[in-house]
Structures are given as C-alpha cells and as structure tokens.
Amino acid sequence: MSALTQLGDSRELLANLTLREVRGKYKRTALGQVWSLINPLAMMLIYTAVFGQVLRVTIPPGNPSGLHLFALWLVCALLPWNFMSNAMTGGMSSLVGNANLIKKVYFPRQVLVAATVLSWDVTFLTEMGVLTAVLLAFGGMPLPWLPLVVVFMAFLTLFALGLGLALSVANVYFRDTQHLVGIVMQIWFYATPIVYPISYVHKEAVKLHDKGWNIPVEFMYRLNPMERFVEVFRSLMYDNRWPALGDALYCIGAGIVSVVIGYWLFARFEGRMAEEL
C-alpha cells in the first residue's frame, strides 16, 4: 500500500507528467488533438466496412434503446478496448522511454506508468463524450447511465494500470516483452466480442457440443475480463440498461485484482531498475 500513498504524495508530479504526455502525444502534428478522434473514427469505418458490410455480422437491436446500427454498436465496445490497449502498452513502455530520467532523478517511478495511463484517460473521456452526442443524435438515451459509465471507466483504468505496471517492469528486464505483447493484443482483440456479438461464440459452442466435444467454450471465453467490460459498456451506452450484475462485479474485481498484483510486482522488482535500464 505504500506505493499508493507515494502516488498520492506526488499528485502534482502526476498531473504534470500527465499533461506532458497529453501535449506530447500529437506534438509537431498539424492536426494535433484532432488525431485522437480521427484514429477511432478510421477504425470504426474499417471494421464497419469489413465486418458490417462484407462479412455481414448480424447484431441484436439495442434493448430498450432501439438503436440498430453496426457502427454504433461497434464503437461502444471499440472505445473501451482502444483505451485499455493504448494505456496498457503505453504504460509498459513508459519506464524504458524515460530511462534518462530514472537514472538521474529520484521520484516514485510508478508515477510514470500512471501518468501514461491517465493521459489515455483524457483521450478516452473525449471520445466517450463525442460518442454520447452521436448516440443522442441517433435516438439513444445514454445520459442517465453516464455516472455508471464513468465508474466503469475508472475500473477499466485500474485494470489497465495494473497490467501496465507489471508489464513495464517486465519490459525493463526483457525488452522483447513489448513485441510479445503486440501479438497478444491482436489475439486478445479477436477473443473479445468487439467486432462480433457473443451469440456467435454460443453457436460455435453448440456446434462443438453436437460433435461430441465437451469443452466449456463459453465459460472459458467469458473468463476474459475485457469481455465483461465490453458487455457492461454496451449495456450502458448502446442498450441503455443495467448491466448484468455478474459482469459488473467481475469488472470491479478484475480492476482491483489487477492493480494490486501490478503494484506488488512493481514494488518487488523496481529496486534494480536504474541499473538494468
């Protein structure tokens, strides 16, 4: 827990570093912060074209919102995923990227990881704001659910922070952690119901069962915390209803467990960091 109090003591530094990250992200680009909206927009268009139009993924209509649009349905899951993915990989490289700082000045090093994650939170908040406006324009009613959305954004942040902390120290000792993580993120993306609904998994599971394979496919599939987060965000934003209690609890648990283990690993291995960098 001392790691957490340290983080509290360096609030000002955390704020400064976060600001630096936010400003630095699109430095020397003509469009600046606009890129943070163009990126998800481009991804949305590509996935909508491929999965919505070409592969004809069928999605259930929003219940009770009545929305029925692949692009919107997709984005409600894509934005949380993008945030988690960026924050985690950004946090992972933050120690190696700031090696010169770590070797020359003392400060609680977890601040670097936290600042990177928080800087992606800024992007995430903007994107969710824009998404809310778009959903309203298409007749959805996400407004009453926004406080809950923010709560789950917080837990998703904890989840990403924990992973970022653990991976950042791993990356100091093994530099190819980041390349490995690059591949894992691709697999993880398709193992999460972002571009297809979970009902597809159910169908596959039934098929396998009929063939006599007794694998608990759905159970295993649903162990993935991101699956739960995606379901929760979709319920709140796309469907405008309460998320399933199990999913919600699972998300909260995943966030807390991740951050506790992440901190523990970080504290355990940060001692020799300056000399390994």
Task: Look at the alpha carbons of 93, 82, 184, 231 in this order and tell me if their dihedral is positive or negative.
Answer: positive
- Rounded CA-CA distance 53/50 in Å is 6
- Min. distance of Cβ 167 from another protein in angstroms? 13
Pattern 86-105, another protein, x by CB under 8 A:
------------x-xxxxxx
- Min. distance of Cβ 271 from another protein in angstroms? 4
Are 247 and 226 contacting, i.e. CB atoms less than 8 angstroms apart?
A: no
If one asks whether residue 8 binds another protein (CB under 8 A), the answer comes out as no
- Rounded CA-CA distance 198/124 in Å is 24
Region near another protein per CB under 8 A, out of 75-83, 171-179, 182-190, 200-208: 171-179
- Rounded CA-CA distance 44/39 in Å is 9
If one asks whether residue 5 binds another protein (CB under 8 A), the answer comes out as no
Angle at 160 between CA 157 and CA 161, to 5 degrees: 80
Q: In the set 1, 2, 12, 147, which binds another protein (CB under 8 A)? A: 12
The closest alpha carbon to 273, from 111, 10, 108, 95, belongs to 95
CB closer to another protein, 18 vs 82: 18
If one asks whether residue 268 binds another protein (CB under 8 A), the answer comes out as no
Q: In the set 85, 119, 168, 177, which binds another protein (CB under 8 A)? A: 177
Region near another protein per CB under 8 A, out of 202-210, 237-245, 258-266, 267-275: 267-275
If one asks whether residue 203 binds another protein (CB under 8 A), the answer comes out as no
The closest alpha carbon to 96, from 160, 170, 163, 157, belongs to 170
CA dihedral 145, 150, 156, 162 (to 10 degrees): -160
CA dihedral 26, 175, 166, 232 (to 10 degrees): 50
Region near another protein per CB under 8 A, out of 9-17, 41-49, 141-149, 247-255: 9-17
If one asks whether residue 151 binds another protein (CB under 8 A), the answer comes out as no
If one asks whether residue 107 binds another protein (CB under 8 A), the answer comes out as yes
How many residues contact another protein, by CB under 8 A?
24
Are 96 and 277 contacting, i.e. CB atoms less than 8 angstroms apart?
A: yes
Residue labelled with tokens 């596959």: 204
Cis peptide before 144, with omega less than 30 degrees from 0? Answer: no
CB closer to another protein, 138 vs 269: 269
Q: In the set 68, 175, 202, 207, which binds another protein (CB under 8 A)? A: 175
Binding site for another protein (CB under 8 A): 12-13, 16-17, 20, 98, 100-107, 173-177, 180, 271-272, 274-275
